[in-house]
Amino acid sequence: MIELNNVAYGYNGNTLFSQLSLALDPGSFHFLTGPSGAGKTTLLRLCYADLRAQSGQVSLFGQDAATLNRDAVAIARRRIGVVHQDCQFLDHLSIAENIALPLTVSNRGDETMDNLKELLSWVGLEHQANQLPAELSGGERQRAALARAVITSPDVIIADEPTGNVDWEMSQRLLMLLVELNRMGKAVLIATHDLHMIRSLKSDVSARVLRLKDQQLVQAGADL
Ligand SMILES: Nc1ncnc2c1ncn2[C@@H]1O[C@H](COP(=O)(O)OP(=O)(O)OP(=O)(O)O)[C@@H](O)[C@H]1O
């Protein structure tokens, strides 16, 4: 569904990686690890066409991302649920409205109520639905960001440190939501530093663990 072939990217002349390839196929589950600053967020942004590859090719659902105009990218992005590291909510909308926004903007508002109730309960935010983002804790905002990313039942879910601010029990609960979606055939890509969390999931899902380091993307070893 999303494929990177020999992709290079860097900032201000500093190469972060080159010749990087990755395929997010239906039903695949990938963890992306690596030191801070290695380029994990950058790699995720390339996957959802928030950045354009400086060389190589990114393909979104069979189309070369470099040839897509803004509207076509927006259409492709509707099939991708993204959990940003900094959550990115609209401050003047309630948490429930923020979570439902991807449905509202794709004219699927009629699906909202059922999905919303179920998701709010899954992420434990039933009682915060009408609060503004600024009134929530960091962990609560992160839970809401995950709910917003999956409310449209997207084909691909890309999450940047989705459990960084939540306690262990809640992080397991959020991850099980992603495992369930993966079992339904969704491709999941999670960037995380949390090796403990990766280990905990290994028996529930057949995941590839990739490590980005020294400009290379390699399969993580048994030392994980
Ligand atoms: N817009 C930008 N302009 C210039 N440099 C940038 C920009 N975005 C990221 N960088 C740099 O690129 C490098 C990789 O950043 P990135 O956020 O992709 O790393 P990361 O592996 O996700 O880090 P972390 O684990 O700390 O979140 C960092 O050195 C960062 O400072």
Cβ neighbours of 26 (radius 10 Å): 12
Ligand 1 centroid to Cα of residue 88, in Å, is 17
Distance from the alpha carbon of residue 72 to the mean position of ligand 1, in angstroms? 27
**Is 13 close to ligand 1, i.e. is its CB under 6 Å away?**
no
**What pLDDT, on the 0 to 100 scale, is given for residue 213?**
84
Atom of ligand 1 nearest to the CA of 34: 21
Residue nearest to atom 18 of ligand 1 (CA): 39
Residue 199's pLDDT is: 83
CA 9 to ligand 1 centroid distance, Å: 11
Phi, psi at 205, each rounded to 5°: -150, 145
Find the distance separating the first CA and the last CA of the chain, reported in whole Å: 28
Which pLDDT belongs to residue 169?
A: 83
Concatenating the DSSP letter of every residue in 64-120 gives EGGG--HHHHHHHHTTEEEE-TT----TTS-HHHHHHHHHHHTT-GGGHHHHHHHHH
User: How remote is the CA of residue 85 from the centroid of ligand 1, in Å?
Assistant: 12
pLDDT in the model for residue 103: 83
Pocket lining: 11 vs ligand 1, CB cutoff 6 Å: yes
**What is the structure's pLDDT at 16?**
92
- Looking at residue 174, its pLDDT comes to 84
> Are 127 and 148 within 8 A, CB to CB?
no
| Residues 193/15, Cβ–Cβ less than 8 Å | no
- H helix intervals, the chain: 40-47, 70-77, 95-105, 112-122, 138-150, 168-183, 195-201
Ligand 1 close to Cβ of residue 42 (< 6 A): yes
Alpha carbon of 215 to ligand 1 centroid (Å): 13
- The pLDDT of residue 111 is 65
pLDDT for res 211: 93
84 lines ligand 1 (CB under 6 A): no
Pick out the chain residues at pLDDT < 50. Answer: none
Name the residue of 31, 42, 189, 194 whose CB sits within 8 Å of the most ligand 1 atoms, as the mutation to test its pocket. Answer: 42
Q: What ipTM was assigned to the predicted interfaces of this complex?
A: 0.97
Give the pLDDT score at 108.
67
CA of 73 to the centre of ligand 1 (A): 23
